[in-house]
Structure 1
Amino acid sequence: MTHHRSSSPLIPPITRRGFVAGAGSLTLSFALSGRAAAQSEESGVVDQTAELPGSLSKAPFLDSWIRIAADGAITVFTGKAELGQGIRTALHQIAAEMLGVDPQRIELLTADTDATPNEGYTAASHSMEESGSAIMNAAAEVRAILVQRAAERLGVDAETLRVEDGVVIGGPEDLAYNMLVDGETLHVRYEGRGRKPDPATYKIMGTPFPRTDIPAKLTGAPAYVQDLRLPGMVHARVIRPPVSGARLAEFDQAAVEAMPGVMAVVRNGNYLAVVASGEYQAVEAKRAAEGAARWTGGIALPERSEIYDRLQASAAEETVIHETDAGSGFPVKRLKARYTRPFQMHSSIGPSCAVGLFEDGRLTVWTHTQGVYPDRKAIAELLSMEENAVRLIHMPGAGCYGHNGADDAAADAALIATALPGRPVRVQWMREDEHLWEPYGSAMVVEASAGLAADGTIADWTYDVWSYPHSTRPGGAGNLIAGNLVADPFRLAPPTNIPQPAGGGDRNAVPPYDIPGARVTKHFVTDMTLRVSALRGLGAFMNVFSLESFVDELAEAAGADPVAFRLAMLDDPRAGDVVTAAATDFGWDGWTAPAPGFGRGFAYARYKNLAAYCAVAIELQVTPETGAIRIHRAVSSVDSGQIVNPNGVRNQIEGGIVQSASWTLFEEVLYSPDRIESRDWSAYPILRFDAVPASVRVRPIDRPGEPFLGTGECAQGPTAAAIANAVRDATGVRIRDLPYSPKRLQTALRETEFS
């Protein structure tokens, strides 16, 4: 059945202002932009066949990004989502700077399929590169167009005019932006005619503005989709099979329907959910339904101890992704190592949630998905609806960077809401739902081998990485849990083998150093044992951990200082700058252990070898008796291009260090052939407040005028390797398997003692 767009009003998304700043004046001119792709100097027109800046290539019309209303209200649109990374604040600053207006006057609307551009996923640290670049260039062009219109109306040269808080001044009369906009003024393609101000004159960009998303989170005001409450809303819970692949053989539906407050039991094949007027009633109904259901079958899991051997023995698509010519050095010493990473969770603090409303043939879903358009496509297919009859509105979720249960919860809300037209349906996953059913980060294996020449340099390098997929994000209904459980199930789409230069399991597998005779091979395994998808950084976390651990092993074998060893192989001056800055701020030269059990470690990477540069130095203490590791200091330097909000950059690196410390020291999905064992926090421990590094210092290196490189995922890999290298320095033990749990460390220390 085809569903048509309804003319009835929809509940609007929750939006907020709350930006406090003063806007200075800017001198403006209508001239050629420095980077408007393949622009002709003679014609002043962008070559439309060339790539436009950022996401302008996907949405080239200016009013896709900037709209100015008759009352002077300014709305800026982004297809990217606020995930807690502070992107709302940074994009707000960019728009205000380029438009020359007080930020308080701008309303920023994020990720809404009825309103914002389709920018795909908010992922891979691309928000600034894609949306930031688009908004910067679009806003500069909007400003230039309006200044030119003012010049024509006033009969003056545009060069004599300037903008102060959205008012064009310097002529016979002042003209506000809204006085210069009518009809289709901004419904024009981007042409690159807006000259961006000199970064030296910026008053808003480059300033540590307060985060716009923080006040509500601090004060307990509605901030997350979990907080959303709509008039007449009812509550739903989903009943999952005990194991993947199980089928619902029997179910006493009448007994559940008779429970207090239960409004409906939704069953579609093996998909089962309950809806109640109250949330606790829904929880009680879920528990009762679990007892009233009998499931058969299911997919057996491998023994956890066999997973790495199984991964390496599986059929794989092998690709050599990097090769360099052999050098003149002859290896006199050879080192080999094998590194492993277990399956790991997103383990969001707030379990996934969504709210759905089906009304007059139109479906609206409020969701914390990182891709409103891709998830809309999958949900429309699931429900056999036209895509334009489905609206997804992003609201932040309480935790997650990557593909957790958000897309599936949105599908739950959509499927259940269609059974209760006119009533908003809130679906809240339980803790065990999140832990058992979210897609995990893939287990991985790395084998590395290298030879050292007589002069202590690397003579050759071989690196192999085995991994399951790192992206099974919705693109079709078969990639949703619900799509596999409904009576007429959908086919699971083939997993994506993400190519270089970004890469998936092989992200950051190519060394950032000038190494002769290097060969890097990825082994892409599609026979998945557990459901996996994108976890922050994809394969970069494991590859940088492995690569930078191995570089330290080579430096030690060469008798070289780890920092000097790295600097000698770096030919990118910006890479050298971050390495030197982190080492200097840490006090690397002349450092001595303050007490027994202390060690230091260093690591570096450029995320994806094309985004942000990051170096991390760690000081930690190991207690051999308990196997406990305490991180005392973490010092980092980062170059992510032009900085919009320095505090935002620091926040992202600090958060990345803490998250990586949790992955490195604690996190591992436990499972047996019968089931996933990590149902709760006791079986999936994460870093707690008492284990957070006592001191974290971050030095952002600003590059005014340079492209945005993104920051969010660059610190995780270097942090893991720096921890590994510091543990080696503190104990003399090299551990190559994650996580560095107390039991694993104690075992390694005992084996070293008796070897």
Structure 2
Amino acid sequence: MSHHDDSIDEGRRHFMISGALFVAFSMVKGADVPAQEVIADEGAAVHIGKATQALAGSLKTNPLLDAWIKITPEGKVTVFTGKVELGTGVRTALLQVAAEELNMAPSLITFLTADTGASPDEGLTAGSHTIADSGSALLNAAAQVRGLLVDAAAKRFGVDAGALAASDAVIRAQDGRTMTYGEAVGLVDLHRNATPTSPLKDPKTFRVIGTPLPRLDIPSKVTGGVSYVHDMQLPGMLHARVVMPPVYDAKLLAFDEAAVMKMPGVLRIVRNGSMLAVVAQGEWQAVVAQRALAASSQWSPGRPLPDPATVHRDLKPLCTQQIRIADHHAPAEPAVKTVEARFIKRYLLHGSIGPSCAVAQLDGGQLTVWTHSQGVYPLRDALAEMLAMPKESVRCVHTEGSGCYGHNGADDAAAHAALIATAMPGHPVRVQWMREQEHTWDHFTPAMVTQVKASIDASGRIVDWQYALWSSSHNERIVNAGRLLPARMLEKPFVSAPSTPMPQPEGGGDRNGIPLYTLPNIEVMNNFSPTMPLQTSAMRSLGAHTNVFSIESTMDELAYMAGIDPVEFRLRHLDDPRAKDVIELAAKQFGWPRAPRARNRGVGFAFAKYKNLMAYVAIAVEISVEPETGLVRLEQAQAAVDCGQIVNPDGARNQIEGGIVQSASWTLHEELRYDTNRIRSFDWGTYPILRFSSVPKRIDVHLIDRPGAPFLGTAEASMGPTAGALANALFDATGKRVREMPLAGDALRTLIDA
């Protein structure tokens, strides 16, 4: 990593801690003009004004060019994004996009991510939207800024703009005259709305986009450097730990304040209703005091949890809203064979390796919160509501966290830090949850039930597809103060906003519920539950993991009934040439069809286009099974991906590989343990995830690059296809159709024995 790349990291860190503001932006919001279009977002619908609906990506909601790119008279270029780095490498990829169209070496750019004091408001970093929305915005904003600067220089030089060349923030004329971007910016006002068309470069000339630029965030992470909000140290920083109720809706009745206040280093106990915390000089002092405080706390009984034995049956009466998301009928040949199946997914937790953490400081009426939230603007608004402060007095600065992949405890820890910091004005306060709090107070991914009835005709063509799912929104993101856990525990508690379904094509529990296959007769019903018995919210891919698992298992079963190879069967039911390309590539790289397997080995295939509008992924896997124990190992995977124009091929592979490993863990092993009294998955022993010893021996990711094509989100695209391929490989290995996740373990051993 070059010195320049390190300086970008240091600049980011200095910016966060110093609190220096680069520029104040006046945001033109779509609310000022009649709403014409809605972009689905995992937080809330974002209304797009008529004036900006033709703009690319997030320029629709943040059209001003200087919201994205600032150039000082000295030529210092700073690029902003409202998205955040969650460990996926998008910070590097977004920098590449801006550098390409600005014609600059990435090391010459200061690149800053989401901060309510500086960056555009891009809502949440979720749903594989970052490169599609922010990348598209930066591509076009950077091209337009470069174009305006070159035009200004051409006018000053009295030459045609086409005769000028721009590189590394210097514009050069053929006669040797030069003008820096800093000088040119004095001739043009960048405080203007973007236009629908941009002077984009020919993809054939790209030098930065499409290259595996080393990730900016990796060096400090692998060397133990300052990487995460957990690592932050501010002058005079105090340490706090919170005491959580033993179960939902339990109220704090009493605690031994006097004894805890006598403990070493303890400065204060902060209590508001059932929100209880201890503040100490040192971190270990805070941990010891928290344990004593928790041991002395008395709570009301709270409410019982669901019975895990009946939770899926009980889900159906909770689903009070029926939303038909597909209903199409056309003449077809008579059905000769039918598959009817029911699939089950249990509650899962995020299992973030680093417990949720935040640092907050109230100084002169200004509250600053350093947080690994996925949405700093929604969080800021909710914190302001919770604290009865004006929004402009609250600043949320994104700082990476060790663990994410959905709505974990990051926002709740930020709310804890904000509440405690306002009780300790002038002092930075660091709050970190304990491991058992991270597990038991997680926003679990919801349980699901799906049912399918599908028929084929005599030629093996699908003639009818009836599908239903029972689940919730899968998304309880921060849209008001009541969505923050501590805010619901206060003496005057806030109430969570009602849960609402996310519309298609994005979808929530019903994400990817509509197959991409060509089907003459199809009905898909989303049975939506506005309430869940456990605290739930978004986790990587939302309902797509279970829906693709169900769809691809059924496709395999239909192919088997028809006597047609599963890959050929899928190709016959697809009209999309890009879908066919990834399927054919994955099959070719895997060597499909395989010769008959050895005993207890199996191969499986699956495909999906994430949300039917993002990246295409096809995957072939090989597994081994231990019948005596029910152990299933993913031996190898070959994946093919089409995500449009590839920004960073290494980053794209990282995401697909990581998704395959994580989905294998969910699909084969993971389930939340609980009973009617308590959540029982409170540590790694009670919530086993895939171990290093079980990581696949080989994963190969084959990318199809489409230069100039729109960016398609990739980070969550392999979750569903991996689950489907594993289920199909398990049938190949054992002859058993397993339709309840987790697929491996005692249940599988019992099934094989039967």
TM-score, normalising length: structure 1: 0.93
Tell me, yes or no, if the aligned pair for 1:143 and 1:194 is still in contact at 8 Å: no
Report what 1:308 is aligned to.
Answer: 312
Report what 2:715 is aligned to.
Answer: 712
Counterparts of 1:11 and 1:629, CA distance in 2:
47
Quote how far apart the aligned CAs of 1:665 are. Answer: 1.1
Matched, 1:80 2:99: no
Aligned runs of 1:269-418 on 2, under 5 Å? 269-418=273-422
1:683-703: per-residue Cα shift (whole Å, max 9, x none)? 110001011111000011111
Q: 2:436 is matched with which residue: 426, 432, 457?
A: 432
Tell me, yes or no, if the aligned pair for 2:516 and 2:612 is still in contact at 8 Å: yes
1:490-547: per-residue Cα shift (whole Å, max 9, x none)? 1111012101111000000001100121100000012310000001111000000011
**What letter matches 2:83 in structure 1?**
K
Tell me, yes or no, if the aligned pair for 2:148 and 2:188 is still in contact at 8 Å: no
Q: Name the SS of the counterpart of 1:358 in structure 2.
A: strand
Structure 2 segments unaligned to the other structure (5+ residues): 1-12, 19-36, 38-48
Matched, 1:635 2:638: yes
Report what 1:605 is aligned to.
Answer: 608
Report what 1:41 is aligned to.
Answer: none
**What letter matches 1:146 in structure 2?**
L
Report what 2:269 is aligned to.
Answer: 265
Counterparts of 2:463 and 2:152, CA distance in 1:
63
Q: 1:700 is matched with which residue: 692, 699, 703?
A: 703
Q: 1:691 is matched with which residue: 694, 708, 711?
A: 694
* Percent of aligned positions that are identical: 52
Quote how far apart the aligned CAs of 1:193 are. Answer: 5.4
Report what 1:122 is aligned to.
Answer: 125
- Mean alpha-carbon deviation: is it higher for 705-714 or for 158-167? 158-167
1:349-405: per-residue Cα shift (whole Å, max 9, x none)? 001000001110000000000000001111111101111100000011101111000
Counterparts of 2:295 and 2:650, CA distance in 1:
50
Aligned runs of 1:525-564 on 2, under 5 Å? 525-564=529-568
1:622-664: per-residue Cα shift (whole Å, max 9, x none)? 1111211111111100111100111111011000001101101
1:419-463: per-residue Cα shift (whole Å, max 9, x none)? 111111000001000001010000000010011211111111100
Q: 2:477 is matched with which residue: 473, 484, 497?
A: 473
Tell me, yes or no, if the aligned pair for 1:602 and 1:615 is still in contact at 8 Å: yes
Aligned runs of 1:451-600 on 2, under 5 Å? 451-593=455-597, 595-600=598-603
Quote how far apart the aligned CAs of 1:69 are. Answer: 1.3
Counterparts of 1:118 and 1:723, CA distance in 2:
39
Matched, 1:13 2:31: no
Identify if the C-alpha distance between structure 1 residues 202 and 184 changes in structure 2 by more than 3 Å, giving closer, same or farther: closer
Counterparts of 1:498 and 1:734, CA distance in 2:
31
Matched, 1:62 2:65: yes
Report what 2:629 is aligned to.
Answer: 626
Quote how far apart the aligned CAs of 1:284 are. Answer: 0.7
Counterparts of 1:443 and 1:181, CA distance in 2:
54
Quote how far apart the aligned CAs of 1:313 are. Answer: 2.6
1:445-483: per-residue Cα shift (whole Å, max 9, x none)? 001001121111111110000002211111111111111
Counterparts of 2:109 and 2:155, CA distance in 1:
26
Report what 2:156 is aligned to.
Answer: 153
Tell me, yes or no, if the aligned pair for 1:626 and 1:742 is still in contact at 8 Å: yes
Structure 1 segments unaligned to the other structure (5+ residues): 1-9, 16-36, 38-45
**What letter matches 1:425 in structure 2?**
V
- Mean alpha-carbon deviation: is it higher for 255-264 or for 336-345? 255-264
Counterparts of 1:210 and 1:315, CA distance in 2:
47
Counterparts of 2:116 and 2:700, CA distance in 1:
39
Q: 1:211 is matched with which residue: 208, 211, 215?
A: 215
Quote how far apart the aligned CAs of 1:100 are. Answer: 0.6
**What letter matches 2:452 in structure 1?**
A
Tell me, yes or no, if the aligned pair for 1:613 and 1:638 is still in contact at 8 Å: yes
Counterparts of 1:677 and 1:148, CA distance in 2:
64
Report what 1:185 is aligned to.
Answer: 189
Quote how far apart the aligned CAs of 1:12 are. Answer: 3.4
Aligned runs of 1:705-744 on 2, under 5 Å? 705-744=708-747
**What letter matches 2:669 in structure 1?**
F
Report what 2:45 is aligned to.
Answer: none
Quote how far apart the aligned CAs of 1:324 are. Answer: 1.7
Report what 2:249 is aligned to.
Answer: 245
Aligned length: 712
Tell me, yes or no, if the aligned pair for 1:141 and 1:192 is still in contact at 8 Å: no
1:170-228: per-residue Cα shift (whole Å, max 9, x none)? 24411111111128721111124531110011111111111111111111110111111
**What letter matches 1:701 in structure 2?**
I
Counterparts of 1:591 and 1:220, CA distance in 2:
47
Tell me, yes or no, if the aligned pair for 2:552 and 2:724 is still in contact at 8 Å: yes
Counterparts of 1:146 and 1:332, CA distance in 2:
67
- Mean alpha-carbon deviation: is it higher for 427-436 or for 46-55? 46-55
Q: Name the SS of the counterpart of 1:188 in structure 2.
A: coil
Tell me, yes or no, if the aligned pair for 1:637 and 1:698 is still in contact at 8 Å: yes
Report what 1:614 is aligned to.
Answer: 617
Q: CA RMSD in A?
A: 1.5
Q: Name the SS of the counterpart of 1:331 in structure 2.
A: coil
Report what 2:107 is aligned to.
Answer: 104
Counterparts of 1:428 and 1:688, CA distance in 2:
25
Report what 2:448 is aligned to.
Answer: 444
Quote how far apart the aligned CAs of 1:73 are. Answer: 1.2
Quote how far apart the aligned CAs of 1:333 are. Answer: 1.6
Q: Name the SS of the counterpart of 1:644 in structure 2.
A: coil
TM-score, normalising length: structure 2: 0.93
Counterparts of 1:96 and 1:468, CA distance in 2:
41
Report what 1:176 is aligned to.
Answer: 180
**What letter matches 2:720 in structure 1?**
G
**What letter matches 1:653 in structure 2?**
I
Counterparts of 2:159 and 2:319, CA distance in 1:
71
Quote how far apart the aligned CAs of 1:590 are. Answer: 4.3
Counterparts of 1:448 and 1:217, CA distance in 2:
45
Report what 1:648 is aligned to.
Answer: 651
1:95-133: per-residue Cα shift (whole Å, max 9, x none)? 111001111110110000000000000000000111001
Identify if the C-alpha distance between structure 1 residues 584 and 11 changes in structure 2 by more than 3 Å, giving closer, same or farther: closer
Matched, 1:235 2:210: no
Tell me, yes or no, if the aligned pair for 2:319 and 2:471 is still in contact at 8 Å: no
Tell me, yes or no, if the aligned pair for 2:54 and 2:196 is still in contact at 8 Å: no
Quote how far apart the aligned CAs of 1:747 are. Answer: 1.2
Q: Name the SS of the counterpart of 1:304 in structure 2.
A: coil
Q: Name the SS of the counterpart of 1:631 in structure 2.
A: strand
1:229-285: per-residue Cα shift (whole Å, max 9, x none)? 111111000100100100111122111111111011000011100000011110111
Counterparts of 1:275 and 1:535, CA distance in 2:
32
Quote how far apart the aligned CAs of 1:92 are. Answer: 0.8
